[in-house]
Structure 1
Amino acid sequence: MMGVAYYLIANQSTSTIDATLTAIDGKLIGKHADLMNQLANLQDLPLLDDFVGMDAALLEALDVPDDVVQVDNQWFEPEQGIEWFSTMMGLLAQQPQHIEHIDALLFELQQFVDALQILQTNHLQWRLGIDY
């Protein structure tokens, strides 16, 4: 079975930002999305998928009403993501059960934080995409 990968999308594109965002694999986040959503629920945090947006052309092709597009396709401030991914790293590190590849997962989450800090420096917004 193919895995799911989460990736960052910036609201503006530059070669530096594109290179930073595409360097992140996102597959471990995809693999552990259910666990992270459970932890988020327990902490009253947004779910990972709450940050997912859809491509505008795809939404138009699917004939999704504009009012739904507005809600489902919002952009987020980098601070929101930095806080969420940093908090999640702390929650995962405290888990009593063994998480497979925990160090690699924490590293991937840190890559998201680092990328979001670059977006913050450049005054850009973001959302998540999912690659199936």
Structure 2
Amino acid sequence: MRWGFMKVAFLIFSYFHKNQPNMPVMMHTLLFANELKEKGDEVKIILEGEAVLWAKDLLSENHPLKSHFEKVKDDFVVCEACASMFNVKEEIKGKLKLENDLFGHVSLKKYLDGGYRIIEL
């Protein structure tokens, strides 16, 4: 492990703001995650609740954040229970990592135990 190495997990719950996707939240999440990753840190972007809708959006070919997303695509973790509830599971299955360690949801304890700092946006 190098000096200053960090493990950061961004936890996103929100999608809508004034009845439309909250682009600033995802744009900043992707910017921060890309910055850390480019510096050699480990990142995860965890989507819970309505935020699982981002998974479907970001996978579309013409999404305005597509280029930022592609750099950290493999670092996304999507709640399987929420993906099912919001009807996006089948569209993202095999494209983004689905987790269900905590009664169908993502286990934050797993990431905390793994040395990740959790940042909620």
Q: Considering the TM-score relative to the shorter chain, is it more than 0.5? A: no
Q: Which has the larger radius of gyration?
A: 1
Q: Larger % of helix: which?
A: 1
TM-score under structure 2 length normalisation: 0.29
Q: Larger % of strand: which?
A: 2
